[in-house]
């Protein structure tokens, strides 16, 4: 059976940086209050004429260059996003057009903050089934477009960005296992109520912060155990934790669960905020490019998001 491994990474952040100090001038908050509760200092915000597919394009170009692959060898594109450019066509098809790739299948996947983990698991299974050999997997979100910037309870969290990887077929294991979960019974705890067929309610993010935090900590603790047991590994076998960047306290809780120093946790939440599906590939690209993550090391990626959805990917980089 074929396996898959990440051959290249890339990321993109919009130029505009929104700091906590700026938020102090528009809502009742302070830099100290935001940072002490979330670990966030700043976040990037898309320009008026910038869209999710634009960010995905920039991240994808860097991942393709990093992997040294020919564009036309890419035989599948999966884009994880909650903020597509249009209702249709998919952001993946718009990205395909911008890249100049023809004929390969391309589709979007929606699992909110767990989107990249879901997308990577999907791509891995395409490769295992022999249906693809070289997959472009992107997580991209413009969360600022669905944020109520007068809601001090959650507008402080969100940012925009994109991250991408090239996943290639290989004879040696790269991705060791993937674990995906969802429970729609908690749909209203973290939601944008209004959509296409349902046109009543808020058009921006609503969140029951404390309840979501508790659920995230408990489910991520459980999936860490599940992932280790499934692979016959001990906590000490994990070299790096690359988690969804939602809140520094959730990251610290997962690190404690693993008995891991925060020095081994890739943390970008301070500069990126919560970029939803983009946060894990963004963090991965940062740590690969600065030399922290090296080939052969064991990496655990995990995420929790609206739905609720949650999941993990364990891989040898």
| Cα separation, 34 vs 161, whole angstroms | 20
Cβ distance 208 to 190 under 8 Å? yes
**pLDDT for residue 132:** 98
Of 145, 170, 195, which residue constitutes the final position of a domain?
Answer: 170
| Angle (nearest 5°) at CA 160 between 156 and 163 | 135
| Phi, psi angle pair for 19, to nearest 5° | -90, 165
| Cα separation, 6 vs 166, whole angstroms | 6
Q: How many domains does the chain have?
A: 2
19 and 136 in a single domain? The answer is yes
**pLDDT for residue 301:** 98
308 and 196 in a single domain? The answer is yes
Tokens 């890339």 -> residue: 10
How is 196-215 classified by DSSP, letter by letter? SS---S-SS-EE-HHHHHHH
Cβ distance 91 to 52 under 8 Å? yes
Span between the terminal Cα atoms of the chain, in Å: 19
Cβ distance 75 to 132 under 8 Å? yes
Of 170, 194, 224, which residue constitutes the final position of a domain?
Answer: 170
pLDDT by 10-residue block (mean), the chain, 317 residues: 95 98 96 97 98 99 98 98 98 98 96 98 98 98 98 96 98 97 98 96 96 96 97 97 97 95 98 98 98 98 98 98
Alpha carbon distances (Å) from 309 to 111, 187, 217, 256: 6, 10, 13, 22
**pLDDT for residue 259:** 95
| Cα separation, 169 vs 287, whole angstroms | 23
How is 145-182 classified by DSSP, letter by letter? GG--TT-TTTTTTB-EEEEEEEEEEESS-SEEEEEEEE
Rounding to the nearest 10 degrees, give the CA dihedral for residues 155, 16, 24, 113: 20
148 and 251 in a single domain? The answer is no
Task: Give the DSSP letter of residue 53.
Answer: H
72 and 202 in a single domain? The answer is no
Cβ distance 53 to 85 under 8 Å? yes
- Tell me which H or E stretch contains 71: none
Alpha carbon distances (Å) from 139 to 27, 32, 41, 170, 258: 29, 30, 22, 23, 26
189 and 245 in a single domain? The answer is yes
108 and 192 in a single domain? The answer is no
299 and 222 in a single domain? The answer is yes
Residues 6+ positions from 226 with CB-CB distance below 8 Å: 179, 312
Q: Which of 55, 52, 57 is nearest to 83 (CA)?
A: 52
Cβ distance 158 to 152 under 8 Å? no
Tokens 């390969």 -> residue: 104
| Cα separation, 77 vs 104, whole angstroms | 7
147 and 206 in a single domain? The answer is no
140 and 188 in a single domain? The answer is no
112 and 219 in a single domain? The answer is no
Q: Which domain holds residue 302?
A: 175-316
238 and 160 in a single domain? The answer is no
**pLDDT for residue 172:** 93
127 and 98 in a single domain? The answer is yes
Of 143, 170, 197, which residue constitutes the final position of a domain?
Answer: 170
**pLDDT for residue 232:** 98
**pLDDT for residue 1:** 76
Annotated catalytic residues are 113, 244, 274
Bridge partners (DSSP) of residue 241 are: 265, 300
CATH classification of the domain holding 66: 3.40.47.10
């Amino acid at each position: 059976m074929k396996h898959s491994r990440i051959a290249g990474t890339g990321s993109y952040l919009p130029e505009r940086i929104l700091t906590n100090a700026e938020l102090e001038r528009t809502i009742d908050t302070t830099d100290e209050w935001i940072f002490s509760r979330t670990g966030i200092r700043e976040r990037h915000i898309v320009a008026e004429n910038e869209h999710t597919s634009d960010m995905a394009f920039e991240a994808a170009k860097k991942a393709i260059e990093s992997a040294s692959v020919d564009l036309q060898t890419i035989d599948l594109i999966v884009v994880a996003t909650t903020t597509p450019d249009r209702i249709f066509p998919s952001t993946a098809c718009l990205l395909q057009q911008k890249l100049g790739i023809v004929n390969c299948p391309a589709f979007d996947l929606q699992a909110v903050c767990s989107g990249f983990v879901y997308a990577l698991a999907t791509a891995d299974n395409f490769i295992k089934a022999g249906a693809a050999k070289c997959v472009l997997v992107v997580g991209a979100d413009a969360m600022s477009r669905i944020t109520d910037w007068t809601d001090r309870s959650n507008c402080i969290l969100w940012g925009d960005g994109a991250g991408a990887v090239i996943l290639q077929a290989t004879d040696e294991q790269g991705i060791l296992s993937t674990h995906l979960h969802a429970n729609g019974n908690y749909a209203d705890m973290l939601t944008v109520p209004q959509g296409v067929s349902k046109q009543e309610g808020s058009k921006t993010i609503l969140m029951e912060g404390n309840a979501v935090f508790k659920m995230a900590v408990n489910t991520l603790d459980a999936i860490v155990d599940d992932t280790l047991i499934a692979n016959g590994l001990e906590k000490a076998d994990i070299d790096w934790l690359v988690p969804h960047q939602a809140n520094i306290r959730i990251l610290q809780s997962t690190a404690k669960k693993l008995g891991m120093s925060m020095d081994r946790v890739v943390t970008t939440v301070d500069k990126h905020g919560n970029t939803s599906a983009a946060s894990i590939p963004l963090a991965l690209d940062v740590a690969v490019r600065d030399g922290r993550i090296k080939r052969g090391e064991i990496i655990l990626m995990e995420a929790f998001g609206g739905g609720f959805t949650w999941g993990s990917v364990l891989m040898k980089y």
